[in-house]
Structure 1
Amino acid sequence: MKQEFLLPDLGEGLTEAEIVQWLVAEGDTVTLNQTLAEVETAKAIVELPSPHAGVIASLHAAAGDVVAVGAPLVGFEIEGAEPTTPVPSATAVEEGSGPNLVGYGAAPSSGRPRRRARRAAAGTTTVVAADADVRVAAPHDAIDVQPSPPVRGERPRSTPPVRAYAKGLGVDLALVAAELGDRVITRSDVDAYRERLTQRAAGTAAAPGPATAVQTSEPVRRRTEAGERATTRIPIRGVRKHTAEAMVQSAFTAPHVTTFHTVDVTATSELIASLRATAAPDSPRIGVLTVVAKAVCLALAHFPGLNARWDGEAGEIVQQHFVDLGIAAATDRGLIVPVIRDAERLTLGELAAAVAELTRTARSGKTPPADLLGGTFSLTNIGVFGIDAGTPILPPGQTGILALGAVRRMPWEHRGEIALRDVMTLSLSFDHRIVDGAEGAQFLKAVADVLQEPGRAMLLA
C-alpha cells in the first residue's frame, strides 16, 4: 500500500526547508530511519531519516526546491500496510512512538542505495559560471555545457562544509567525483572543477536560442557607453533569510542603546598565556572569548536586568536566573547564534570546550535547531575580523549583547606612565525598555574590571 511522508514540523517555528540533496531515488528499497535526504532549514543543515521501511514510490521535490512544512515529500510503497498519512511531528519522537525525525539524528544505515541522476526539464541548459549556477531556458538545439550526470552509486565522499560550499557554487559533487575517482573531495577540487566548467561555458556563450529566464548569483553584465556594468542577484533563503527577518524584528521592537568601554586587558592576556603554557596537549584552548564569557556570567548575577526578557502580553519583565549564553558564529551560510546552556555553571576550561564544540558544529552546518533557541544573553567576537567596536543588534527576545573588539598592543597610561599595553574595546547593546543607561554602564564596567584584573572575579563569584 502507498503511504505519503510529509515534511516534518520541527517544532521550532520553521515553516519550510530546502532540499540540499537526495540520498535515495524512486525504486530504491529503504529501511526505517535510513537517511533519505539532507535538508536546509533557516537554521541548519540536517539529515531527514525515513519514517518507514519500504520502496520509494515517488519524490515530490527536487534538489534545490523549497518545501513547506506539511507538504508531501516522499511516497512509499509498503507491503501489507494500510494507506495512511503520517503526522510528521517531533513530539512523537520524544515519546518514543515514531522514527527519528529531523534534528534528532538517524540510526546508522548498513549501506546507501544507488541513486539515479536527476533529469533537467526538457529544453533547459545548465551552465555553472564562475560563482554561480546559471539556468537559462533555451530551445532544444541549445548546447548543454555541463556534462550529464552519470548514474550514481555511492554518495560522493566529502565533508559537510565542502558539500555546502559546492552547493553554494552550483557544483554537483557527483560530477566532480566522476572526474576524480574514489577519493574524498576537497574545496580545491570543487574550485578546480568550477574553473574547468567556466572555461567550457565561455566557449559556448554564443549558443543559439533566445534566453527567456535567468536565475543566477553570477553578475549579469550589460554594455553601456560608460563601459561594462554588472549586477548580482542572490536568492534570499535559509539562514540569511531567517537572520534578516529576526534582525528587522529586533531592531524595530526593542529600543537599542549601545555603550562602549575601552579597557587594558594585559593581565588577561598574561593569564591566557600562562594557562596555555601549563595546559595538557589535549586541553581545550582558552582564549579571550572564553574569559569574557566567564566575566559576563559572573556580572549577570549582579545585574539581572541584562539577563531578562520583555513579556509584553503579560505586562512583565522576566528575570532569568540562569545564563544560556549565545555565541555569534559567522558561517558560509550566514550568521547563527548557537547557545551554551547553563553557562554560569561551567568552569573556564568547560566554557572553552563548549565554545570549541559550538564553533565546529556551526561551521559544519550541523547545529541542531534547538541549540539556536532560548539564549538569554549573547557575545559576538568582531575582533577576529580586526574590528575595534560596533553596534550589535540584539537577538530577538534578549536584552543584552556584548561585542568584543580586537586586542591591540598600543601606548596606554599604566601606573602613571605611558607603556605598551594590550587594549580592547567592549561594545554593549541593550534593550532600553528593561535596562537604563546606569545599569548598562555598571554591567559593562564590571565585565571590564575582570578583564583588567582577573583576580576581581573572586569578588563577583
Structure 2
Amino acid sequence: MAPGLNVNSLEFKLPDLGEGLTEAGITRWLVQVGDVVAVDQPVVEVETAKALVEVPCPYGGVVTALFGEEGTELPVGAPLLTVAVGAPEGSPAPAPEEPAERALQTAAAEESSGNVLVGYGTAAAPARRRRVRSAGPVTQPAPKPAAQPVPRAVRQEKPPRPQEPAAGPSEASGSSGAGTLPRTDGPIPVISPLVRKLARENDVDLRVLLGTGPDGLITRADVESAIAVGRTTAHAATPTYEPTPTRTHEPTPTRTHDVTPTHTPVGAVSEEPRVAPTGAEIRYPLTGIRGLVADKMSRSRREIPEATCWVDADATELLAARAAMNGAAKEGEGQKISLLALFARISVAALARYPMLNSTVDMEAREVVRLADVHLGFAAQTDRGLVVPVVRNANTRTTESVNAELIRLTEAARDGKLTPAQLTGGTFTLNNYGVFGVDGSTPIINHPEAAMLGVGRIVPKPWVHQGELAVRHVVQLSLTFDHRVCDGGTAGGFLRFVADCVEQPAVLLRSV
C-alpha cells in the first residue's frame, strides 16, 4: 500500500477568460516561490487582448513553482503555478492502483474555491466526482507544446535524500519510505503533469528516478538532472570525422545531428524585439492588443467593402454652444461637457434618422441585421495600444450621461482596467483622430460594425460666412461605411446631417 502523503501539490492553470479569449500575457507576478497564499488571493496580473486583469488562485497553501516569466504569453489551460496544500487530518491514503497526484488533488478538494472566472471572482467548489480506479498508473493526455511554459523555479521543501541500495520490486513498492527509492510498480508520485511530459519527451524512465520533493515527489529538477546525465553520456560517445590530411587548417567538423535541441515553448515568446544575426532586422511579436488589432483589421479589410466620404464643417457655433453649457453649470456641479460627448450625441441623433448604419451583415444568412440599440464605441489611444470602449445604450442617454460614461471608460482604459465586456458589443464607432493633429483619415471599420464616423482637428481657417470671408473654426468629418449595407445616398445623408448639427447645434433640438 502506498504511504499517506502530508503535502498535496496542486497545479493552477490559466482559466477561461471568456469573451472568446484564448491566451493572455503575464505582466506581473503578485507572488513568489515560497509565499503563502490564501484561497481566492490574486497571484498574477495578465494582459489579454481586451483588458488587464488580476487572476485569483482557488487554492490556499505555499507556492512551489511559477510558470513563465513576465512578458510570457500563455494559452488558456497552461499551468500558472503549483501550490503545496496540507492534506486534511485523517485523509485516507490513495489506493495502490490509483495515480498519486489524482489522490493528492482529491484529498485537498475542500481547500480550494473551485474554478476561476476572471472578472467575477471564484465560484464554489465543484461537487467531488466519483473516482475511477485503474489497473495501473494513468498517464495524463499530453497538452500541446505551446501550453507548457518553463517554470521559473521549483522550491525544494526537503534536501535531496541520499540514494540507498536498490531493493527488490516488492520491497521497493511496499516500503513506508516510498518515493525515496526507485520503484518498479505502483503509482509514481510526480509533482505536476508538466514533469511527466518532460520525462516522456526525453525518454526518461520515471520509475528509476529518486524523488527529491516532499515525500518523495519527483520534481522537474530530478527529470532535468536525468536528462543532463543522458546528454553528457551521449556527447562522450559522439563520433567525429577525421580531418582531411590535405586541409589540416580547417576545423574538425562535428555531426550536428547528434546535438539534442532544447525545448522552448511557444508561450515563452518575449515582448522584447528579436534581432537577426546580421542586425538588419528587428522583429516584434503580434501579441496582446496589437495582435487583436491585427486580426480584426485584417478580417475587416477582407470581408467589408468599405467606402469613405467626407465634408468640411464650420464648428464655430458648436464650440460656442459647448462654452455656454459649461459656463452655465455652477461651480462644482457635474463635469464639463467634452467635444467628444457632443459628437457622440450628434451621432446618435443621425443614427435615429439613418438606422441602416447601425447594422451588421450576416453573410451566412445573406441578411443585413438592423440593430435596435446604439452601443457607441469610441477609439481611445493608451500606452497599451488602441482600444475601443463601448458606451452602452447611448440612444437612451442624455448628453451629460454620455459625457460621464466617456470620462469613466477613458480613465479605465488608461489604467488598463477595462473588462472584456466593456470592449465588445459595439454597433457604431466614433473616431476622434483630430487629437493627433490630423485633418482627415480613411479608417478601417471595426468589424462587424457597418460604419465609423471620423472627426479631424478643429482649426481656424478662412471660410465664407454669411456671404463674407471670415476666419472660422473648421473641422473635417469623414464617414467610412459598409457598401453592402447602404449606398452613397444614405451615407451622404448621414454625414450631411452630422455637419448641419455641427454648424447649427439648434438642429439637435428637433430630436431631443
Would you call these one fold, judging by a TM-score over 0.5? yes
Where 2:480 maps in the other structure, the secondary structure is strand
| Structure 1 residue 418 displacement after superposition | 1.1
Give, in whole Å, the separation in 2 of the partners of 1:262 and 1:337. 25
- Picking from 4, 13, 26, the partner of 2:20 is 13
1:278 aligns with 2:328: yes
1:30 aligns with 2:40: no
Work out whether residues 33 and 50 of structure 1, in 8 Å CA contact, stay in contact via their aligned partners in 2: yes
Amino acid at match of 1:376: T
Give, in whole Å, the separation in 1 of the partners of 2:300 and 2:271. 31
Amino acid at match of 2:62: V
Give, in whole Å, the separation in 2 of the partners of 1:395 and 1:333. 18
Where 2:431 maps in the other structure, the secondary structure is strand
Cα distance change, pair 243–416 in 1 and its aligned pair in 2 (3 A) = same
Q: For each residue in 1:266-294, what CA deviation from the matched residue of structure 2 results, as whole angstroms up to 9, or x when unmatched? A: 11000111122222335223122111100
Cα distance change, pair 306–87 in 1 and its aligned pair in 2 (3 A) = farther
Amino acid at match of 1:275: M
Gap regions ≥5 residues in structure 2:
1-7, 89-104, 127-151, 154-263
- Picking from 357, 360, 372, the partner of 1:306 is 357
Work out whether residues 271 and 284 of structure 2, in 8 Å CA contact, stay in contact via their aligned partners in 1: yes
* Number of the residue aligned with 2:316: 266
* Number of the residue aligned with 1:102: none
| Structure 1 residue 232 displacement after superposition | 3.3
* Number of the residue aligned with 1:432: 483
| Structure 1 residue 219 displacement after superposition | 9.6
Work out whether residues 116 and 123 of structure 2, in 8 Å CA contact, stay in contact via their aligned partners in 1: no
- Picking from 50, 56, 78, the partner of 1:49 is 56
Q: For each residue in 1:304-357, what CA deviation from the matched residue of structure 2 results, as whole angstroms up to 9, or x when unmatched? A: 111011112222211111111001011111111110101111111111111111
| Structure 1 residue 233 displacement after superposition | 2.8
Give, in whole Å, the separation in 2 of the partners of 1:392 and 1:62. 36
* Number of the residue aligned with 1:63: 70
* Residue correspondence of structure 1 range 213-228 to structure 2 within 5 A: 217=272
Amino acid at match of 1:460: S
* Number of the residue aligned with 1:411: 462
Structure whose residues are more often strand by fraction = 1
Q: Normalized against structure 1, the TM-score is what? A: 0.70
Amino acid at match of 2:298: V
Gap regions ≥5 residues in structure 1:
100-117, 120-212, 224-228
Amino acid at match of 1:411: P
Where 1:407 maps in the other structure, the secondary structure is strand
* Residue correspondence of structure 1 range 58-457 to structure 2 within 5 A: 58-78=65-85, 79-80=87-88, 82=106, 88=115, 90=117, 97=124, 217=272, 231-279=281-329, 280-281=331-332, 283-457=334-508
Q: For each residue in 1:38-70, what CA deviation from the matched residue of structure 2 results, as whole angstroms up to 9, or x when unmatched? A: 101112211111222222232222222211101
RMSD: 3.0
Give, in whole Å, the separation in 1 of the partners of 2:38 and 2:122. 21
Amino acid at match of 1:82: T
Cα distance change, pair 77–215 in 1 and its aligned pair in 2 (3 A) = closer
Where 1:401 maps in the other structure, the secondary structure is strand
| Structure 1 residue 91 displacement after superposition | 9.4
Amino acid at match of 1:76: V
- Superposed structure 1 runs of 4+ greater than 4 Å apart: 83-89, 91-96, 213-223
| Structure 1 residue 26 displacement after superposition | 2.3
Amino acid at match of 2:483: H
1:39 aligns with 2:46: yes
| Structure 1 residue 88 displacement after superposition | 4.2
Where 2:43 maps in the other structure, the secondary structure is strand
Give, in whole Å, the separation in 2 of the partners of 1:452 and 1:396. 30
Q: Between Structure 1 and Structure 2, whose CA radius of gyration is higher?
A: 2
| Structure 1 residue 31 displacement after superposition | 1.4
Cα distance change, pair 330–62 in 1 and its aligned pair in 2 (3 A) = same
Q: Normalized against structure 2, the TM-score is what? A: 0.63
Where 2:68 maps in the other structure, the secondary structure is coil
Work out whether residues 56 and 121 of structure 2, in 8 Å CA contact, stay in contact via their aligned partners in 1: no
Amino acid at match of 1:63: E
Where 1:384 maps in the other structure, the secondary structure is helix
Cα distance change, pair 98–413 in 1 and its aligned pair in 2 (3 A) = farther
Give, in whole Å, the separation in 2 of the partners of 1:294 and 1:97. 43
Amino acid at match of 2:324: S
Cα distance change, pair 12–98 in 1 and its aligned pair in 2 (3 A) = farther
Cα distance change, pair 430–385 in 1 and its aligned pair in 2 (3 A) = same
Work out whether residues 361 and 368 of structure 2, in 8 Å CA contact, stay in contact via their aligned partners in 1: yes
Work out whether residues 317 and 503 of structure 2, in 8 Å CA contact, stay in contact via their aligned partners in 1: yes
Where 1:24 maps in the other structure, the secondary structure is coil
Where 1:90 maps in the other structure, the secondary structure is coil
